[in-house]
Amino acid sequence: MKNIIIIISILFITNLSAQFPTLVEKNSFENFEISSLIKTKNGSFVLTGFFCPILEVNEEKGEEINYKNRLWSAELDQNGKTIWSKILTDGIKDSIIGKYIAEGNSGFLILTKNLGNNQHQLVKINNSGDILWKKNVGKSSKLISANKGGYILLGKYNKENNWIYKLNENGEEQWKISMSQFNNQKMVDVINTIDYQYIVLAYDINEIGEKKWNLVKFNDEGKITWKKKLVSNIFANSDYKLGNFIQDKLGNYIIATTEKYVIHSDIRITKVNEKGAILYSKLYGFDIGKDKPINEIAYGIIEAENGGYIFGGRIYEFATSVGRDVLCLFRIDENGNFLWFDSYRKFKYNNIISFQTLNDNKYIIGLTSNWDDERNKNYTFILSLTDNFDAKNDPMLCPLVE
């Protein structure tokens, strides 16, 4: 009898462990930081970011030059291998970083930022990563591809107090949605919707300083088609980071935020249906059974191919007196029930930039990690995530906070 119990226990543990995701390193770039990663129409992946400041010897001049951040872009195949990788600025005078990259009908458009004077610029590159043109713009926060060609830009284009611009392939304005039309004080994020429109996550601030969160939908002609106020107290203690807002195949919107307390934080997942009604808003914490609380920070989200959602983030573990900031991944089902969680100590002080779908429950992850403590260098890692979860074999129950 004892042997039967032992065998059953071994089989249960083996089955449970087999359901955890498999994470494989596909590529890495030493001293590079990634800011944006997209999947192209032909199935490859294109990214932007920057090459970090370093001291190099200029062989022509025979002197040391302390280079600044240099704009960087690269294309990867479906296995994460490099097709091309190019540094697009010299780093001598200006410190330039790539913030977002979007695909057009021909080539790609990069939203960049000069860290010296906070000037934003649009840089158009061809399919081989060569620069075609540059245009200065006002303070801008997000760039995405438009549904019918061109681009959608969030921010103050050409220093005007307007929020949303539609640009053509040459970066020329086609229409804009002004602040008075939008009727919100802060625009946070924008995504394409499954009905070929766009939706913005935004908020305004009332007289006592409370944020009132809204969803605002608009079409390809710049007409606002739908607005919905979200329950304000849900996000009262939450911080939002770009990239934690998606729409699933059924039209629901998923928002991941970081819920802050006095000494730690949890991750809040909110699901809103296509009419703007909140389906659930749940907190997830992974410090149950720990002696000290853990900080969890949301970074990245994607809809799982076989249902539910996969989230990326950082957890600050107090396993030692120093603590360690490491990569974590977890998955929930469509109703917010916890399915699995795992953490990866190799990838420290990380920022997940993007999840993109490959096939057969496989995903590409782009992240920056301070992997080399001794030399204090940042690395860009391209990882392949395989989700091994089988819904027929339910793992342990969720560490829900509420």
> Read out DSSP for 73-84?
EEEE-TTS-EEE
Lowest mean pLDDT among 148-152, 156-160, 242-246, 269-273: 156-160
Q: Please report, for residues 1, 324, 358, 361, the alpha-carbon distance to residue 21 in angstroms, rounded to integers and kept in the order given.
A: 33, 22, 15, 10
Return the pLDDT at 100: 95
Return the pLDDT at 181: 67
CB 95 within 8 A of CB 115: yes
- DSSP string for residues in 170-194: TS-EEEEEEHHHH--SEEEEEEE-T
pLDDT at 9 > cutoff 60: no
Across the chain, mean pLDDT equals 82
CB 76 within 8 A of CB 90: no
Length of the chain: 402
Q: Which stretches does DSSP call E strand in 193-318? A: 198-205, 211-218, 224-229, 238-239, 245-247, 253-260, 265-272, 278-284, 295-303, 309-317
Tens of pLDDT, residue by residue over 219-232, are 999 999 988 888 76
Q: In what side-by-side order are the strands of the sheet with 22-30?
A: 22-30, 377-386, 362-372, 351-357
* Alpha carbon distance 120, 97 (integer Å): 10
Of residues 137 and 396, more confidence is placed in: 137
Tens of pLDDT, residue by residue over 318-353, are 554 455 678 888 899 999 998 988 888 777 666 777
Tens of pLDDT, residue by residue over 84-124, are 999 999 888 899 999 999 999 989 999 999 998 889 999 99
Mean pLDDT of 1-12: 39
Return the pLDDT at 98: 94
Q: What percent of the chain lies above the pLDDT cut of 70?
A: 79
Task: Supply the pTM of this predicted model.
Answer: 0.86
Residues 6+ apart with CB under 8 A from 188: 200, 201, 202, 203, 240, 242, 245
